[in-house]
Amino acid sequence: MTSGFLKSEEVPGRRHRFRVMGGGVGRGHAVYFFGMFFREILMKERQEILVGLLGRVFRYLEEAGRPGTPVVDYQAPESLRQKMDLTLGAEGLPEGQLLQLCEDYLQYSVRTGHRFFMNQLFSGFNFPAFLGEIVTAATNGSMYTYETAPVATLVEMEVVRRMGELAGFQNGNGLIVTGGSNANLVALLCARHHLFPDIKAKGIRMRSPMVIFVSDQAHYSFFKAANVVGIGSDNVVLVKSDRAGCMIPEELDGEIRQAVQNGKTPFFVGATAGTTVMGSFDPLPAIAGICETHGLWFHVDASLGGGFLLSPRHRDLLKGCNLADSFTWDAHKLMGIPLMCSVLLTQSRDILYHACSSEGGDYLFHDYDNADFDLGTKSLQCARRVDALKLWLAWKCIGDRGYAERIDRLVELAGYATHKIASHPQLELMRPVQSIIACFRYRPEGATDLNGLNLALRERLATEGKVLINYTHLNGEMVLRLVVINPDLTERDLDTLFETIVGTGEELALAAARADEKS
Ligand SMILES: *Cc1c(COP(=O)(O)O)cnc(C)c1O
């Protein structure tokens, strides 16, 4: 049976499936009522699928909290390709089969809500934000105009206003962007536009290369931003940090003077509040003073550390951030919002508009009463996903006070972990801990190849799905990087973690010793 309104296809061994084609009203009452009838069946089927999926998702989320659930059912790529049919084909599947595909996806994905998902600067599950994601997907708004996304626009404006207030920006502005990396990029663009406005239209025609300054602990996104904004990654000067991972202000001042002497044009300093590897905080007041002296744009990358502004107890880590010209804050890190949720705040009300707006787009932006509410005019994106709703709902539900408690608790737990590491005979704390990240390694007595051992240990934990914990190198020494960011973590979990690490390490050391004996 085929009509303009509805098409049904016979699938052997299965129920009919229907596609509502739209239009067709007026082709006769019979077809119309038939259409309504099948539409109702389709809606009923979809409702069943949706309820079934939500049930499965709920179980998946609930399992992550249970002891013994692995962080991941790890499969190498070839094996994963065999377990799931990933190929796309010409024929469509009935919608009912989507459930199994989603089930497979859940089965083999990393459970980032798991308390032993410690690999990255996010972990855990946020229920109100999750509801926000569902509503965001259902409404599928786009943030360019108030007309297209009225509620989302006001919600984003409120979130940005509140974050700006916490950062101490008096009459600032801001925008949700696609990540901390992009926030840093847009900040660099704002700085370039502020100091060299002609470049926007004319391109770069400077004889003296522009240079920017970040610490040697800064995030790698500054190299990318320097590439995109036309500065060149070679013109990113890495300022020395101290043993705790904080930028040394005297070094910064020296590097700036040196650059000027070498005929370069300094214009931007990116301080970090909460470094990616160690969770360290650069001394913002001193850096602000140096930027003031040399007339440079002062940016604070608080992708990780922004959340500390919510804690009266730890807010001082960011002391001086109110002096910044721009500020990056990832709500998907300490605030536990699902990816992505990143905000760029600016001290100036209109720099985002001047730096990011362009000609064209009159098909989209019309001069009318609400033009100030068309956030798209200050964005590098055209269509822009609604990332504000999930944050707004979570913040509404948790409140400033709830967030303060949560963040204080994380710092407390990181302190507990630090103490455990420092007092354990087979663990070694590699750097002082300033906030929520502890760099350490497994060091059994008499072991020689500590890098190799820790690498093997970390791989074993990951492929067995016990713990996902990342690593990096500090001065050539491999360190495990414990990120205490999951709000459900407890002291008991941390005890289990260290027992698991040491236990697995002992197994590996024993196996290595046996292999040595044999050879
Ligand atoms: C995580 C992080 C970034 C990058 O943020 P994304 O949202 O992952 O792009 C930038 N800077 C710092 C200090 C970070 O910790």
Structural domains of the chain, ranges and CATH numbers in brackets? 2-101 (no CATH), 144-386 (3.40.640.10), 398-518 (3.90.1150.170)
Long-range (24+ apart) CB contacts under 8 A made by 47-54 are 49/95, 49/96, 49/98, 49/99, 52/99, 53/98, 53/99, 53/102
Report the nearest atom of ligand 1 relative to the CA of 179.
7
Q: How far apart are CA 430 and CA 15, in angstroms?
A: 62
Packing angle, helices 249-261 and 284-294, rounded to 10: 20
CA of 335 to the centre of ligand 1 (A): 14
Q: How far is the CA of 41 from the centre of ligand 1 (A)?
A: 47
Residue with the larger pLDDT of the pair 509 and 131: 131
State yes or no: pLDDT of 64 exceeds 60.
yes
Distance CA(39)–CA(29), nearest Å, equals 15
- Tell how far the Cα of 328 is from the centroid of ligand 1, in angstroms: 9
Tens digit of each residue's pLDDT (9 = 90 or more) over 249-300: 999 999 999 999 999 999 999 999 999 999 999 999 999 999 999 999 999 9
Sign of CA dihedral 450, 453, 459, 462: negative
Which of the two residues, 3 and 210, has the higher pLDDT score?
Answer: 210
Radius of gyration of the chain (CA): 27
pLDDT above 70 covers a percentage of the chain that reads: 93
> What is the end-to-end Cα distance of the chain in Å, rounded?
74
Nearest CA to ligand 1 atom 2: 303
pLDDT at 368 over 60: no
199 pLDDT more than 50 = yes
Lining residues, ligand 1, CB within 6 Å: 121, 179-181, 219, 221, 272, 275-276, 301, 303-304, 330, 342
Per-residue pLDDT for 454 more than 50? yes
* pLDDT computed for residue 342 by the predictor: 98
pLDDT at 450: 93
Mean pLDDT is lowest, of 34-43, 268-277, 412-421, for 34-43
Position 68 scores a pLDDT of: 87
Name the residue at shortest CA distance from atom 15 of ligand 1.
Answer: 276
The closest-lying atom of ligand 1 relative to the alpha carbon of residue 219 is 11
Q: pLDDT class for 369, splitting at 50, 70, 90? A: low
CA of 337 to the centre of ligand 1 (A): 14
State residue 50's pLDDT score: 95
Say what the pTM is.
0.92
pLDDT(485) > 90? yes
Handedness of CA 402, 404, 405, 407 (dihedral sign): positive
Range 295-308 average pLDDT: 98
Assess whether pLDDT exceeds 90 at residue 67.
no
Residue 370, pLDDT > 70, answer: no
Half-sphere exposure of 449 (CA within 13 A, CB side): 9
Atom of ligand 1 nearest to the CA of 275: 13
Instruction: Quote the ligand 1 centre to 153 CA distance (angstroms).
Output: 24
pLDDT at 18 exceeding the cut of 60: no
Please state, rounded to an integer, the average pLDDT across all residues of the chain.
Answer: 92
pLDDT band for position 207 (cuts 50, 70, 90): confident
Q: Which atom of ligand 1 is nearest to the CA of 339?
A: 7
If one residue of 303, 343, 470 were mutated to test the ligand 1 pocket, choosing by the most ligand atoms within 8 A of its CB, it would be: 303
Instruction: For residue 273, give the ligand 1 atom closest to its CA.
Output: 13
